[in-house]
A and B are shown apart, each in its own frame.
Chain A
Amino acid sequence: MQAAYIARRFGVFLLIVWLAGTLNFFLPRLSGQDPVRTKLLQQAALGGYVQGGIDEMTREYEQRFGLDKPLWRQYLTYLEDVSRLDFNYSIANYPRTVRELIADALPWTIGLLGTTTLLSFGIGTLLGALLAWPRAPRWMGWLMPPLWALHAIPFFLLGLILTYLLAFQVPLLPIFGGYSAGVAPELSWSFAWDVFQHTLLPVTALALALGQILSGAVLVEVIFGYPGIGTLLYQAIRESDHFVIQGIVFTVIVALGLTTFVLDVVYPWLDPRISYRRS
């Protein structure tokens, strides 16, 4: 019974991964044009972002995608690449690969979300318990409606307001970025402290909203210029770097799917009232 349950959950996970990959492959193609070609030509005309040789890149793409082959072959090749987490080169940052860029940004986002989850869990549990406690002081009852209202406000907006209050009016916390300007990333206590201080402000904004934490994280990172996945995505959109955008979307969907899968499997074990059996 357990094996069947886990297998079914895993099937759902695989389905999500497949859907994410398929969407990534077909949606840009529905609009007709070849985004790579257009983009490369556009940038060549501007003499802008592309530093490396365009011929080299085009040849690389044609080889990799097999653009002369039928669509279904391209699709299979794409699925194969993606299953190895190979999302091709970044158009704007050639010759860096999308995987490298994501690997650089991911620890920042995971750190941000980790701190957020711990803080919100701590504060939320404490507040929840206090609010439900029969002998809690009366004024605590008044906290509930404002908390609800706070929940209704988009987090990046709260972030904007908090930045202004905490970093501008009362200069307690750094306003921008993931670490101070002029500080190089290294493994030391002072750098860790610097990073921690930079995490606090985005975290306070995120910690207030648990529900769609991830979509929120993307926007909060953009508002704060925090060097995580969200900012990478924002830059990729500004530079029309399709491969980076697709790589991020796919990675995040798979990561979330995996988390859901692990939770689904672990949950009945943590909470015996939930059984593996179909209800």
Chain B
Amino acid sequence: MMRGALHYVRRNPSLVVGVALLAALSLFIIIGHLLVDTEEARPLSVPALRPPSSDYPFGTDRQGRDLLAVMVVGTPLTLRIGFIAGFLGVGLGTLLAFTGAYYRGVIDTIIRGIADIGLTVPGLLVLIIIAVSIKRALTVNQMAIVVASLAWLYPTRTIRAQVLSLRERGYVEVARLSGMSGPGIIFFELMPNLLPYLAATLVGAVSSAILASIGLEVLGLGPIDAPTLGMTLYWVNFNAAMINGWWWWWTAPTVIILMVFLGLFFLTVGLDEIANPRLRRSV
């Protein structure tokens, strides 16, 4: 058993790297919440603009926030936006893809048309219009829903293509001939076979949702009073921290965002190898 696991690890190193990076991040968040005073993520709670020291390992920013506390509080917020938007996107995408690809006809044409046209439009710009139209300041959860409003397009298209190829398989035909209902086939025959693929799609969707949310935040359309990673970068840019030489202000969020994206990326590649055996030995 142990040998088998080791053997598999060697064949799928991406999965290990991805899981390790994300586990390290989770540890940072959990231990951080135990050891760090999260109140210091609020403005004016510590002296401003201190470079890293033993008191403030990540330094402090211009508004008087301890950047270590900001990272401990902000990383889970950013991940939450990604997960909510990712789950909503893949959920809705799966539903639409299965209905369209299984029943075909007019519904399918409409779903495919919307997804195809929607994907040619630069998503960030549409999200900007949506975020600008909301008058009040966004909360973290509203932010997630804004991002989710476009997050279903790509999953819909790719999952639909998978279902189209699956529904022609022999076992689906057998189920249909033996009188199984449409929803029954979808849930008990098609869905289980697509689970690994759905997992890989989900990780990809979470990653793009985080990217979109950080993009909106850097432009100043994020939850203005929440210390998410993207909002930290917004303040970095807003205060021209780079030109002023406050290097520690942007180093911490940059490193953590890098870990998030690389972790999710390697996880997707690893899951893809499980879902799609033909890709094996490509890394």
Interface residues of A, Cβ cutoff 8 Å to B: 12, 15-16, 19-20, 23-24, 27-28, 30-33, 145, 148-149, 152-154, 156-157, 160-161, 163-164, 168, 175-176, 212, 214-215, 218-219, 222-223, 233-234, 237-238, 240, 242, 245-246, 248-249, 252-253, 256-257, 260
A24 and B129 contacting across the interface, CB-CB below 8 Å: yes
- Dominant SS at the B interface? helix
A31 and B122 contacting across the interface, CB-CB below 8 Å: no
Q: Given the interface contacts A16-B117, A160-B250, A256-B122, does A31 sit within 8 Å of B219 by beta carbon?
A: no
Complex interface: chain B residues within 8 A of A223 (CB): 218, 237
Number of A-B contacts (CB under 8 A): 113
A260 and B120 contacting across the interface, CB-CB below 8 Å: yes
Q: A16-B117, A168-B242, A219-B219 are in contact. List 5 more A-B contacts (CB 8 A).
A: A19-B117, A31-B134, A31-B135, A249-B126, A256-B121
A245 and B219 contacting across the interface, CB-CB below 8 Å: no
Q: Given the interface contacts A23-B129, A252-B125, does A163 sit within 8 Å of B219 by beta carbon?
A: no
Q: Given the interface contacts A153-B258, A163-B242, A219-B215, does A246 sit within 8 Å of B129 by beta carbon?
A: yes
Instruction: Tell me how far the C-beta of B200 lies from the nearest C-beta in chain A, rounded to whole angstroms.
Output: 14
B121 and chain A: residue at smallest CB distance? A253
Instruction: Tell me how far the C-beta of B225 lies from the nearest C-beta in chain A, rounded to whole angstroms.
Output: 17
- Dominant SS at the A interface? helix
Q: Please classify how large the interface on chain B is, using the bins under 10, 10 to 19, 20 to 34, 35 or more.
A: 35 or more
Interface residues of B, Cβ cutoff 8 Å to A: 117, 120-126, 128-130, 132-135, 207, 211, 214-215, 218-221, 233, 237, 242-243, 247, 250, 254, 257-258, 261-262, 264-266, 269, 283
Instruction: Tell me how far the C-beta of B230 lies from the nearest C-beta in chain A, rounded to whole angstroms.
Output: 10
B114 and chain A: residue at smallest CB distance? A19
Among B124, B133, B261, point to the contact of A27 (Cβ < 8 A).
B133
B243 and A237 contacting across the interface, CB-CB below 8 Å: no
